[in-house]
Structure 1
Amino acid sequence: MRVLQVSAELFPLLKTGGLADVAGALPAALAAAGAEPRLLVPGFPALRAALVQECAVAPVALPWSEGRAALLRGRLPGFAQAVYLLDAPGLFDRPGNPYADASGSAYADNHRRFALLGLAAARLAEGVDASWRPDIVHAHDWHAGLACAHVAASRARQRSTAKTVFTVHNLAYQGLFPAGQFGELGLPAEHYAVEGLEFYGQVSFIKAGLHFADAITTVSPTYAREIQTAEQGCGLDGLLRHRSAALHGILNGVDYRIWSPAADAAIAAPYGADDIAGKAACKAALQRECGLAVSAEAPLFGVVSRLTEQKGLPLVLQGLDDLVAAGGQLVILGAGDARLETEFAAAAARHPDRVALRSGMDEGLAHRIYAGIDVVLVPSRFEPCGLTQLYGLSYGALPLVHRVGGLADTVIDCTLEDLDAGSATGFVFDAYTLDAYCRALRRAFVLWQRPACWARVRAAAMRQRLGWDTAAARYVDLYADLLHG
């Protein structure tokens, strides 16, 4: 079966979050599972510059008057699959963040930029490339949500028979635009309705995916249940309950070609579950790199994250003095909320040999942090899947997590019975409160004082295999059901 994956980001060429990791790893896993995937990405500078062996496929008519756009086909480094790139310089040829300007303000024409991405997906589903036509269009997150609406419109005009799958990576990011911009999306007028894109008087790109897709997936089984509730449904829980038969929770995976301490060129020394010696060298190297006191005895905690309230970072800040007082160290890598960044910077100034902040996102440093830390903190208020804890498991950095979404699906708490069974892999707390978080933190310190127990839990964590093969098999089964159902 031919599957077109549509994503705004693609690791390692363009990444602002976990969406890029998924889009970068899933195609190869789908190919190994028997599908024939290709990618469609916007012509952002990093992607456009990397495209080789390119050829023109077809122009893409714009729903507005000015500008030009065309579909190109070519290859990107590291990808065996062919890639379609939507070349529209007036929309995508902008430096820096793909979604916002240098001040952090979302581009005023984002509705046009990502409507055109969906329209290009529909044109491919209609067969504008005579050599390859997808059976399935698989759209990822709100940026690609209109692909499902445009394909539905093509099917109504009997120009396409493709089925659509829409994957929600984070329901909180919805792609909301003023109703007056609907006319620039290239969709039939009747699509602006409650049974369509209309959402409390606005246009919702994510609702387009949820309403028009033939199947909906999200990135963990628990999150699939949570988004059907008022608490985590972000105003779309009624629609998701209505479409519950089409909703599937498929857990994200880890690309162990990239995220394995045994073969990671970015870290100080290789190591694995059966030969852990190199982790001590990675810890010491990280402590030196970040200006922390070099101490094997101090448990080293880490945060690799967007600095947002969603990620539970207020809890980390509120519990930071307790962490330091108990003898721990903390390294933070991230960017986002200016207030959070300022508060972490102040904590680093108060405890210069115990707390380090590195602003921005640095892929190599992220690898060195996972390799060097003992505990990765992921106390998110909500978390669709989370890749941070999965990378932590692979690198023997025990996750400390709030029991939500994919965190609940992937980390087993160090209860007495799970310690005895050898299945414990981290520290889990239930209530999103400072007290519950600090209790989990204390459990981490208690286990740290028992090196043999710590070593057993770390080995169990590192032996977890949460690769993309399982997820890809689920997706292929879902595609087959859509095509033959």
Structure 2
Amino acid sequence: MTGPEVLSVAAEIFPLVKTGGLADVAGALPLALAREGVRVTTLVPGYPAVMAALEDSTEVHRFADLMDGEARLLRARAGALELLVINAPHLYDRPGNPYLKGPGEPWPDNGLRYGALAKVAAEIGLGLLADYRPAVIQAHDWHAALTPAYLFYARRKDRRLKAPPVVLSIHNLAFQGLFPAELLGKLGLPPEALAVEGVEYWGDIGFLKAGIQFADQVTTVSPSYAAEITTEDGGMGLGGLLKARAKRLVGILNGIDDDVWNPQTDPDISARYSAQTIEQRAINKLALQAKFGLRPDPEAPLFGILSRLTDQKGVDLLLGALPVLFGEGAQLIVCGQGEPRYEAAFAEAAERHPGSMGRYLGYREELAHLIQAGADAILAPSRFEPCGLTQLCAMRYGAVPVVSRTGGLSDTIIDANTAGIARSAATGVQFAPATQDMLEDAIRRTCALYRDPVSWRRVQLNAMASDSSWRVSAAEYASLFRKLSARSAINRAADAAKTGSASGEPRSFAPVGGAVDPDGPERASPQAAVTRSAPRKAAARGATKA
């Protein structure tokens, strides 16, 4: 079945530029949707790594002034990815992390850099290009979340404009994109937008808040997380607004690219294997132990953690649980970076436990593959986790996930309790709540399970048999995009019949997500009421991180 043309708008995309799971999703989902008949073109910033990877690029538009500088819009390919790239050196031609000038220091003009991304997306949706117009726009995270706001205010100014429905996909609500109100004019938004019914959020401009307010549909990356973020505790200041929009909120699980994450073909591991040759994992374990200077002990349970080193990821709980882990005779490899205090704490712990602990402060894709293939268990003690991809990769590679029961971790892992093992259903170890005591108990349970070879192998094989691909989730996205596109077309036709307009112009923006008049004073008043009562402290968390 042929699906609608979708414009995906993302600040990063694997394999061109990656800081986290957003890039993996932005890179893999278009390929999975292609198998559903949905063609996706991805709009991305022209970072140096992106520009270097482009194939057959062609200029399709030139901006005389895009956030204080000239810019070009390029159509290009990079491998199997179809791209539109914003070549704006004054915004994106910078080294290193795309969001950070230095450790923990965001680029001071991030508001303009990602406002430009959303603005260009909106202009494409309104017909900027003669030969391409998407039927649906999927805006990923706060970086792209102003897209539906730009569309709303453009349509409010000129009711003749057509606008495609916008899906806002939230990958992590903690990162909201908060910027000073003084930026409004430079962003090209009208003065009336700085209102609680618009983009204003506790005196700032809230990119993610605006996206939730104006999007036709809001998706997030697991059903459990979709429910959690409508609560006061899980909503991080936006729970009331999300609850008011609950009818337009759905959780669709992430998947992984099972061609990239495939132990049978992986070029980055020492020994390739399948469920039928899983004993070959032992070779990868020995290689991993050697790489990190650990004792070459096949009997020692080897834990790995691939994570940002932050409070969200529960790494402080792991630091507290190290005496229990090493007391069980286990080993640990830490791969990640984040808060300096945690980087220093893990470095000190590795010095105190030579032969039992190794660490790499940073992220390397090939190292992540070897850890998944060689570690016996992968730790994810997160306090909250929208979906998580690490545990999906772990299952694919026969590494047993040890996870807190939250968000997507609870949706994807079946606990290896007595019933789970007896039914041959268990795929990992879960614990709740996310406390040090419960993590310590989970570590003890995992080590006991490891010492029962029959049960351990059963859990490994169950995990490897799980479908962690995009197959099911891509079908859900394709169905959603088709429904939005069809409903939008029906509404345009109905409006044309009412007005007698030959062009079929809709009478109001966002016909799918509320069918409210952009000139109406009561636009989104329930959301406005709950947004005014949102706690300021929670709203300020993680304003600029991906």
Question: Fold-level match, TM-score > 0.5?
Answer: yes
User: Aligned partners of 1:445 and 1:452: how far apart in 2?
Assistant: 14
Whole-angstrom CA distance in 1 between matches of 2:65 and 2:203: 25
How far apart are the structure 1 equivalents of 2:225 and 2:394? 20
- 8 Å CA contact 2:309–2:315 kept in 1: the answer is yes
1:13 is aligned to 16
Q: CA deviation at 1:476?
A: 1.2
Alpha-carbon contact 1:10-1:23 (below 8 Å) kept: yes
Report if the CA contact (8 A) 1:63-1:185 is conserved.
no
Q: Write the letter of the residue equivalent to 1:355.
A: M
1:26 maps to 29
Residue matched to 1:227: 229
- Shift in Å at residue 162 of structure 1? 0.8
Q: Deviations over 1:442-479 (max 9, x none)?
A: 11011111001100010000110121121111111111
Partner of 1:307: 309
Q: Are the equivalent residues in 2 in contact too, given 1:138–1:166 (CA < 8 A)?
A: yes
In the alignment, what sits opposite 1:91?
91
What amino acid does structure 1 have at the position aligned with 2:203?
Answer: G
- Counterpart of 1:260 in structure 2 is 262
Q: By how many angstroms is 1:170 displaced?
A: 0.3
d(CA) in 2 for partners of 1:280, 1:60: 56
Q: Which residue in 2 is equivalent to 1:48? A: 51
How far apart are the structure 2 equivalents of 1:191 and 1:136?
23
Give the deviation of 1:82 after TM superposition.
Answer: 2.4
Partner of 1:383: 385
Q: Matched residues in 2 for 1:90 and 1:268: separation?
A: 43
Deviations, residues 341-376 of structure 1 (Å, cap 9, x unaligned): 111111100111000011111110010000000110
Stretch of structure 1 that moved more, 405-414 or 49-58: 49-58
Per-residue deviation, residues 21-60 of structure 1 (Å, max 9, x unmatched): 0001011111111111101000111001111211111123
Kindly provide the amino acid, as one letter, of the partner of residue 106 in structure 1. Answer: P
Aligned counterparts, 1:9-158, within 5 A: 9-60=12-63, 62=65, 64=67, 66-76=68-78, 78-79=79-80, 81-156=81-156, 157=158, 158=160
Which structure 2 residues correspond to residues 149-168 of structure 1 after superposition, within 5 A?
A: 149-156=149-156, 157=158, 158-168=160-170
1:207 to 2:227 alignment: no
**Aligned match of 2:331:** 329
Equivalent of 1:414, from 405, 412, 416? 416
CA contact (8 A) 1:7 1:139 kept: yes
Which amino acid is the alignment partner of residue 52 of structure 2? Answer: A
The structure number with the bigger radius of gyration is 2
Judge conservation of contact 2:184–2:190 (CA < 8 Å) in 1.
Answer: no
Is the Cα contact below 8 Å between 1:344 and 1:357 reproduced in 2? yes
Superposed displacement of residue 209, structure 1: 1.1
Give 1:98 shift. Answer: 0.4
Residues 57 and 128 in structure 1, CA contact (< 8 A), matched pair in contact too: no
> In structure 2, do the counterparts of structure 1 residues 466 and 417 end up closer, same or farther at CA, with 3 Å as the change threshold?
same
After superposition, the Cα gap between the structure-2 partners of 1:58 and 1:106, relative to the gap in structure 1 and judged at 3 Å, is same
Question: Secondary structure of the equivalent of 1:345?
Answer: helix
- 2:338 & 2:434 partners in 1: Cα distance? 21
Task: Give the Cα–Cα distance (whole angstroms) in 1 for the partners of residues 204 and 395 of structure 2.
Answer: 41
Using the alignment, how far apart are the partners of 1:192 and 1:17 within structure 2? 31
1:380 aligns to what SS in structure 2? coil
CA drift at 1:155:
3.6
SS at match of 1:82: strand
Counterpart CA distance in 2 for 1:433 and 1:207 is: 30
Contact kept? 1:63, 1:184, Cα under 8 Å:
no
Q: Match of 1:456, as an amino acid? A: R
- Aligned with 2:148: secondary structure? helix
User: What is the correspondence of 1:322-471 to structure 2 with a 5 Å cutoff?
Assistant: 322-471=324-473
How far off is 1:63 after superposition?
Answer: 6.0
Unpaired segments ≥5 residues, structure 1: none
SS at match of 2:70: coil
**Greater shift after overlay, 273-282 or 324-333?**
273-282
- For 2:459 and 2:111, the matched residues in 1 are separated by 47
- Can you give the 5+ residue segments of structure 2 that lack an aligned partner in the other structure? 488-546
CA contact (8 A) 2:396 2:468 kept: no
How has the CA–CA distance of structure 1 residues 418 and 28 changed in structure 2, closer, same or farther, with 3 Å as cutoff? Answer: same
- Residue type of the alignment partner of 1:432: A
Supply the AA of the counterpart residue of 1:3. Answer: V
Match for residue 195 of structure 2?
193
1:380-407 residue CA offsets vs partner (Å, 9 max, x unmatched): 0000000011111111111111100000
Q: In structure 1, what is the equivalent of residue 180 of structure 2?
A: 178
Kept in 2: contact 1:63–1:186 (CA 8 A): no
Q: Distance in 1 between matches of 2:14 and 2:168?
A: 20
What SS does the aligned partner of 2:105 have?
A: coil
Distance 1:243 1:471 in 2: 22
Displacement after TM superposition at 1:432 (Å): 1.8
Q: More relative contact order in 1 or in 2 (CA 8 Å, sep 6+)?
A: 2
Q: Which moved more, 1:9-18 or 1:184-193?
A: 184-193
Q: Distance in 2 between matches of 1:318 and 1:104?
A: 24
In structure 2, how many angstroms separate the alpha carbons of the residues matched to 1:184 and 1:279?
A: 55
Question: What's the CA shift for 1:441?
Answer: 1.0
Residue 161 of structure 1: how far off its partner (Å): 2.7
**Which is further off, 417-426 or 270-279?**
270-279
Q: Compute the TM-score of the two structures, normalised by the length of structure 2.
A: 0.87
CA contact 2:148–2:214 (8 Å) conserved in 1 = yes
Deviation at 1:190, TM superposition (A): 2.0
User: 1:338: how far off?
Assistant: 0.7
- Distance of 2:138 and 2:153 partners within structure 1: 16
Displacement after TM superposition at 1:242 (Å): 0.4
Q: How far apart are 1:154 and its partner, in Å?
A: 3.5
AA aligned to 1:341 is E
Cα shift at 1:260 = 1.2
Deviation per CA, 1:233-270, whole angstroms, max 9, x where unpaired? 01000100000000000000011010111110100001
Counterpart of 1:170 in structure 2: which amino acid?
N
Give 2:7's aligned residue.
4
* Structure 2 contact 415–427 (Cα < 8 Å) conserved: yes
Structure-2 separation of matches of 1:188 and 1:26:
34
